Structure 1
Amino acid sequence: MLSKINIDNLDFRIDSEYFLKYYLSLEAKLDKININKISDFAYVTDGIHTSIIFDDNSNINLLSAKSPKNNIFDLSGNKCISKNQHIENPRTRLQKNDIIISTVGTIGNVAVVDESILPANCDRHVGIIRIKNSNYLPYYVSTILNSKYGKFQSNRYTTGNVQPNLFLDKIRLIKIPYISNYFQITITDFVKKAISLLYEAKNKYKKAEQILIDELNIKIENDNNINIKSFNNSFGNNGRLDAEYYLPKYEDLQKNICKYPKKGNICSIITLQDKNITPKDNRKYKYIELANIDNIGNVIDCTEDFGANLPTRARRIVHTGDVIISSIEGSLNKCAVITEEFDGAFCSTGFFVIKSGIFTAETLLVLFKSEVLQNLMKKGCSGTILTAISKEEFEKICIPILNDNIQQKITCYIKQSKLLYNQSKLLLEVAKKSVEIAIEQNEDSALKYLEEKNNEILNLNKEVI
């Protein structure tokens, strides 16, 4: 009916996607309960509109559309904004409990700012939701926005062709159900516990990393930018004339590795799986790309679609126990161990897919994310528009072969890290599911579900040493 089309439809949209039956069914459920639009209880703005001035010496995080995920922030690819630009933009300076929503790219990802993120600012590709009414708690609102009842609205209100965007006036229209303060507090506790577990997972990873650092005892200290090479020892040998390739620090690193009791070139001790496989058009697959990897070696999400719709770079199949390593300069630290959840998934050809009978998967992860291997991989990168390390350069890197005792210690910490990460992920999913139950059934059913799942998660805690 025309009268229904006009409801909250300021742009008079009549495209079929806007009226998908799925969207209408979820909207009907929301309209049966007590709801408020975000504009009713929060101030909404966006980030800095001018070009960002980055500063490596700054400690002020710059959040972008890639930063918020499912109620957590991933700052692995983030840079810092200059102090002066931060001061000059008071409107966009982030505060504790600000809700950040991505408005371009992967639209509708949401997380809440806490003390660990601050000081921080953000660019124009995110929306800032600042609650001004105590009836709504930030982590409850963020959980609603990450649930199907929030996602369908952010997807529905997204417009544009070349670069789809979720504009601020549409964020203000998003409907958030009001559920009791007790329920909101319970959801908040679940989300904060999940974030706490994630921090514990990161600490376990750091302990594994420290074991490797102590074992190798290799420091990157040579900052000399001058090196003299004969033709036979440079272009005549490897075809490289770029000065960066011959930085003395790279030579020092390689010499230090050569001093290690056991070592070998990657091609001789690691199996590289680089066969291209074309996905079947009518079959659904999980697809992993660079943006799906966090900074402690987890695949945090993925695309799931029919083979016909996957990009042409989706040509590598991965299996449980494989390790994937980015070959793209600027993202070389995007490495992950493939778990059972992603067995049989496709990944981008921008990854090397490796496994070894000499190393555990967890050891390979920490080794290739280490500063030593990251530098040697960076040395091998070449190209102009998109610089990357080739298969040939990758395979000739010499790496240390760690003894079994060291590998067992590293593996133990990484497995603990992954258990904690999985518990964190489960808590966030339970929180999302519970708000959906509260909307579709009632608050009591949602609270009962939370209690049951909380007991299951407590049992999982016993698995962590």
Structure 2
Amino acid sequence: MAVFSIVQRTSIGSANRIDPDYYQPKYLQLAKRLSQSALKEKGILRRYIHSAINFGAYSLCNYIVFVDSGVPYLYTQDIRDNYIDLDNLHFITPDVDELLYKSQVRDRQVVLTMAGVYLGRASVFDYGIHVNSNQATAKITVREDLLNPYYLSTFLNSLYGSFQIRRNKTGTARDNINLGQIQDLFICLPSRRFQLRIEQAVKLGRQKLFDSKQLFTQAEQLFLSELGLQNWTPTPALAYTRNYSQAARARRVDAEYFQPKYQEMLDRLSSSVRLDRLGKLTTYTKGVEVGSPAYTASGIPFWRISNLTKHGLDDDSVNFISDELYDSLRSSYEPQQGEMLLSKDATPGIAYYLETSIEGIVSSGILRLTITNDIPPHYLELALNSLFVQLQVEQDAGGSIIKHWKPSEVRKTLIPRLSPAKEVEIAGFVQQSHAARRETKTILEKVKRAVEIAIEESEDKAIEFIG
């Protein structure tokens, strides 16, 4: 059924937009609800901020050279809803950081993604470190006597902020929003008391995330300590030789496969550690490819390798398929509770254990492992994500452009076995880590909904909802 709006020319106003997407009925309804909110203070964002800046001249990109360590450099994928992921940062030199002074991030600035698939994510930066950021991020400095930065980031992530960003976006190949459009976003301001309550809740969610990371690190360190690999770094080797018989047995002639570090790692293992093949502990089934023409704007998730992390499935950039296609595939390709998801292509070796079933279909680059032997699932999950297995993946995976880890090699992967008590102890840390991360997501989603309730109903009901 066709969806349309009839808009008078005189109502176009300062937006100066005549494209039909801008006047979708859902956008008009949300804009009306926002303007009629019971919250008394409202207006365009520029009234409540000192500045909104970004990168400066795009030609400055030519000076960016990434280094192994230096000044952290944020990409749009590092900005999440009300937190910043510091786990996979890029780095630039101090000289480049000075050149890109406009994109330096200050404490308590709101960082908002301005372009690409991650358009519209917002978070307050309060991590106490010096960082820089790429050209697709806006840094907003608020007038804190009027506007709390945590409230602003939550508002931007909420229904009433995100719809305005989607509505105002432009671009054909790549969606984007400019600084002027950001400053013209319409915002409702609740009381200082409510804004402070939002800040407290966001910080609680972030603390849970910090706890999650600490618990996972504790599990990793205990695991490596038991293996005798804690603080181990491979001995550099400028040259090494191997016999033809070794190359023939491995069916590999590339020098990278025979780097000494792989055998050095095995030689360092504690004598109390025994090794099992992954094929002895699990069976596997593959996912399926549906092809990009099958993707739909909404529907059932189609989980790709890019959605799989060692902490769970990231649904921020998930693709969808139709209900009909899902129904035809679900019996063979939908992950079930108790299975381990393991990537074998592109970024092979990422594992995540499913404590509950998930809705959706997994791509062919993901294996679904079923545990058939006596091993704590979360211990196996940690082992697969560990340095010990990641170096095996590095050695085995082939492909010059896209890495491929053959299922036959996956089955041969060595899994360290410890005492049952120690495996259970390590698994416990991993379980607690995942639980804390789920709490983070619950809290931050709840905070967004609380802002929406304050706009739609009242501050009191929103505070009651937060608890």
Structure 2 length normalisation: TM-score?
A: 0.86
Q: What is the match of residue 15 of structure 2?
A: 9
- In structure 2, the CA distance between the partners of 1:163 and 1:427, relative to structure 1 (3 Å rule), is same
Cα offsets for 1:334-369 (capped at 9, x unmatched): 4322242x5243233333332323322211221122
Cα deviation, residue 185, structure 1? 0.3
Q: Matched residues in 2 for 1:309 and 1:289: separation?
A: 19
C-alpha contact (below 8 Å) 1:323/1:338 kept by paired residues? yes
Q: Matched residues in 2 for 1:428 and 1:37: separation?
A: 25
Q: Matched residues in 1 for 2:43 and 2:350: separation?
A: 40
3-state secondary structure, aligned to 1:422:
helix
Structure 1 segments unaligned to the other structure (5+ residues):
452-465
23, 28, 39: which one aligns with 2:27 = 23
Cα offsets for 1:37-64 (capped at 9, x unmatched): 2222232222363143211121x22111
The answer to whether structure 1 residue 343 and structure 2 residue 358 are counterparts is: yes
Cα deviation, residue 142, structure 1? 0.6
C-alpha contact (below 8 Å) 2:219/2:429 kept by paired residues? yes
Q: Matched residues in 1 for 2:324 and 2:91: separation?
A: 36
The answer to whether structure 1 residue 173 and structure 2 residue 184 are counterparts is: yes
- In structure 2, the CA distance between the partners of 1:381 and 1:155, relative to structure 1 (3 Å rule), is same
Q: What is the match of residue 323 of structure 1?
A: 340
Alignment of 1:52-71 (within 5 A): 52-58=64-70, 60-71=71-82
C-alpha contact (below 8 Å) 1:225/1:248 kept by paired residues? no
3-state secondary structure, aligned to 1:263:
strand
304, 315, 319: which one aligns with 1:289 = 304
3-state secondary structure, aligned to 1:382:
coil
Cα offsets for 1:156-185 (capped at 9, x unmatched): 122222222223232222222111111000
Alignment of 1:21-420 (within 5 A): 21-33=25-37, 34-42=41-49, 43-47=51-55, 49=58, 50-51=61-62, 52-58=64-70, 60-102=71-113, 103-116=115-128, 118-218=129-229, 219-234=232-247, 236-256=248-268, 261-276=273-288, 284-293=299-308, 297-301=311-315, 303=318, 305-307=320-322, 316-328=333-345, 331-332=347-348, 334-340=350-356, 343-356=358-371, 357-420=373-436
Cα offsets for 1:282-326 (capped at 9, x unmatched): 9932333344455x6233435373337999x99953222322233
3-state secondary structure, aligned to 2:18:
coil
Q: Matched residues in 1 for 2:383 and 2:44: separation?
A: 49
Cα deviation, residue 120, structure 1? 0.6
Q: Matched residues in 1 for 2:10 and 2:227: separation?
A: 67
Q: What is the match of residue 457 of structure 1?
A: none
Q: Matched residues in 2 for 1:252 and 1:332: separation?
A: 22
Task: Letter of the 2:376 partner, please give it.
Answer: T
Task: Letter of the 2:303 partner, please give it.
Answer: I
Task: Letter of the 1:370 partner, please give it.
Answer: S
C-alpha contact (below 8 Å) 2:339/2:353 kept by paired residues? yes
Q: Matched residues in 1 for 2:313 and 2:9: separation?
A: 45
Give the root-mean-square deviation of aligned CA atoms.
Answer: 2.8
Identity %: 21
- In structure 2, the CA distance between the partners of 1:310 and 1:192, relative to structure 1 (3 Å rule), is farther
For these two proteins, the number of residue pairs brought into alignment is: 442
Task: Name which of structure 1's ranges 331-340 and 431-440 shifts more when overlaid on structure 2.
Answer: 331-340
Cα deviation, residue 403, structure 1? 2.8
Cα deviation, residue 333, structure 1? 6.3
Structure 1 length normalisation: TM-score?
A: 0.87
Cα deviation, residue 196, structure 1? 0.8
C-alpha contact (below 8 Å) 2:74/2:89 kept by paired residues? yes
C-alpha contact (below 8 Å) 1:257/1:400 kept by paired residues? no
438, 442, 450: which one aligns with 2:454 = 438
Q: What is the match of residue 3 of structure 2?
A: none
Cα offsets for 1:103-128 (capped at 9, x unmatched): 21221111111125x21100112222
3-state secondary structure, aligned to 1:252:
helix
Q: Matched residues in 1 for 2:287 and 2:363: separation?
A: 12
Structure 2 segments unaligned to the other structure (5+ residues):
1-6
3-state secondary structure, aligned to 2:280:
helix
- In structure 2, the CA distance between the partners of 1:40 and 1:182, relative to structure 1 (3 Å rule), is same
3-state secondary structure, aligned to 1:66:
helix
Cα offsets for 1:198-249 (capped at 9, x unmatched): 1111111111112201111123432214221222311x33332222111100
Q: Matched residues in 1 for 2:428 and 2:447: separation?
A: 29
Structure 1 runs of 4+ off > 6 angstroms?
279-283, 308-311
Q: Matched residues in 2 for 1:258 and 1:192: separation?
A: 41
Q: Matched residues in 2 for 1:352 and 1:301: separation?
A: 18
